[in-house]
Structure 1
Amino acid sequence: MIKNLSFKICLPLLGILGGISVNAQCNEVSSFSENFDAYSCCAMGVVPTCWDSVLLNGASQIISSTSPASGTSQIYQNGYGTGKISIVVMPPISNINAGTHQLKVKMKANSAGYLEFGYIKDNIPETFVVLQGININNTSYNDAASQRTFTVPTTVPDGMRLAIRNPGTSFAGHYWDDVVWEPIPNLATNENDISFGVSIYPNPFNETLKISDIKDVKSITINDAVGRVVKTIEKPTAILELNDLQKGVYFVNLHFRNETVKSFKSIKN
């Protein structure tokens, strides 16, 4: 990865104290790991080299040293009200839509919080697309709920970058640390993989989809053709009632209890 100077572009039309911290000339990488310990509290908009920060309407995003998950530092995002939006943009990656990698990150909040995982084009706030909403109720990294794993659909366009946005809908202070873009474990199907042989049918379908083996499926997310999460099912059964979905192409992602994910392309007539 090439390290370079970062600079800030002020965007008065986007709101008071709005701006984008931009890192230039960074090569794409196929994996990364970041614990933020090379950075210290508390200047506004600080992120690692080849990451970027978007702050709108007085939103806050700093490096914080308040009880990180590991080491000395972590990301802190706080909006303090509607419209105060912060977006932390991750480094460019070459395999964002390969379906081979996942993002793991530890999160906590000082009260009930809400962030959004998604992708963005050229750090332009209006291009951010939500892949998954993140409700954060744990106040400690010691809580098992602090470890989050996100998969990215293969429909995400080339040239996009992963990002985490605080949409300003919660007054909570949001903390996250130990971010890893890594290969999905047990991606190769074998007889020991609990997802081996699991299928969904029929395809195309009308109102319902059936899962051939549900016992190890923890949850299901359904993405539309552009990668947005349109439905989440926390305790799925073998028959999925999907009459609320419009006709079109969907990606049905089965999340297994061993943290593997199996994705199916399905068409609703």
Structure 2
Amino acid sequence: MIKNLSFKICIPLLGILGGISVNAQCNAVSSFSENFDAYSCCNIGVVPTCWDSVLLNGASQIISSTQPASGTSQIYQNGYGAGKISIVVMPPITNINAGTHQLKVKMKANSAGYLEFGYIKDNLPDTFVVLQPININNTSYNDAAAQRTFTVPTTVPDGMRLAIRNPGTSFAGHYWDDAVWEPIQNLGTHESDILSEIKVYPNPFSDIINISDVKDVKTVTISDAVGRVMKTIAQPETTLQVNDLQKGVYFVTLHFKNGTEKLFKVIKN
């Protein structure tokens, strides 16, 4: 058996030296569960085998032992200021855009924090695409808000990898633990087909957003690029009037009656 290999390289980005930890020879998996307990504090850029770490302009990412959600260790991301970006890249997965799985992870911060959930190509920081902003106001994993669940649009291209980015816009130290890529619970084959087929359009939009099928949708929330909820629509119709929204990027989340969610990134022009 060929073992997974890990090595670290440094590349210049915009004249500033950035570090990227790269894992090679890792086969894509259909699920994973990681509590980081096989790794110890406190070397910069340490992540599990088949995960990767991108650190730019003095940003910090380590394995931390400061009151993890479980066991002995967790991920810690820190850094504030222009270009101080850290990205933790998850292992390659075969079903990133199948619409059948979700990422569950526990998060906290030592003050008001902000991270971003998204995807990346080949660990190149400029290719990171935000799927969902993450505002973190809880300072303990014991808070109910610590448990986060993220769904992934079926429009994500093949070959992408899930990632969590600290863009350096918050002074906070961000902690997260117990990351699991798992099947969406109570999602039968028929429901999975429906979930994967639902579309939100047009994109970009002007005054209306259409939803292709709302019979199983309980509510719709529309958030801005930094996670503030701009609209909550109960029992939505197939056409939503959104002419009061300003131009920019928004996240439309469909909350289904069976407890699942589906998120779309849209742009108002």
Judge same fold: TM > 0.5, yes or no: yes
Trace 1:76-225 onto structure 2 (pairs within 5 A). 76-188=76-188, 207=208, 209=210, 216-217=218-219, 219-220=220-221
> Secondary structure in 2 aligned to 1:145?
helix
Determine if contact 1:131/1:229 at 8 Å carries over to the other structure: no
Structure 2's unaligned 5+ residue stretches are: none
Please give the alpha-carbon distance, in whole angstroms, between the structure 2 residues aligned to 1:208 and 1:166: 30
Deviation at 1:186, TM superposition (A): 1.6
Aligned counterparts of 2:216 and 2:230: Cα–Cα separation in 1: 13
Cα RMSD (Å) of the superposition?
3.8
Give the Cα separation in 2 of the matches to 1:233 and 1:213.
23
**Aligned CA distance change for structure 1 residues 154 and 244 (closer, same or farther; 3 Å):** farther
Moved more, 59-68 or 237-246: 237-246
2:4 and 2:199 map into 1 onto residues whose CA distance is 47
Determine which of 214, 232, 237 is the counterpart of 1:235. 232
* CA shift in 2, pair 1:232/1:189, >3 Å: farther
C-alpha distance in structure 2 between counterparts of 1:81 and 1:201, whole Å: 35
Q: Runs of at least 4 residues of structure 1 off by over 6 A?
A: 199-203, 228-231
Q: TM-score, normalised by structure 2?
A: 0.80
Contact 1:68 1:177 (C-alpha < 8 Å) held by counterparts: yes
TM-aligned CA deviation for residue 112 of structure 1 = 0.4
Does the 8 Å CA contact 2:85/2:165 hold for their aligned counterparts? yes
Is there any run of 5+ residues in structure 1 with no aligned partner, and where?
Answer: 223-227
Amino acid at match of 1:165: R
Deviations 1:71-92 (A, max 9, x none): 0000000013221000000000
Amino acid across the alignment from 2:177: D
Per-residue CA shift, 1:27-62, capped at 9, x if unaligned?
Answer: 000000000000000000000000000000000000
Give 3-state SS (helix, strand or coil) of 2:233's partner.
Answer: coil
Q: Say if 2:116 and 2:134, in contact at 8 Å, map to a contact too.
A: yes
Q: 1:215 to 1:255 in 2, by over 3 A?
A: closer
Q: How many positions carry a matched residue from both structures? A: 254
Shift of 1:208: 5.6
The answer to whether the Cα contact below 8 Å between 1:52 and 1:123 also exists between their aligned partners in 2 is yes
SS of residue paired to 1:236:
strand
Counterparts in 2 of 1:110 and 1:81: CA distance versus 1, 3 Å: same
* Larger proportion of strand: 2
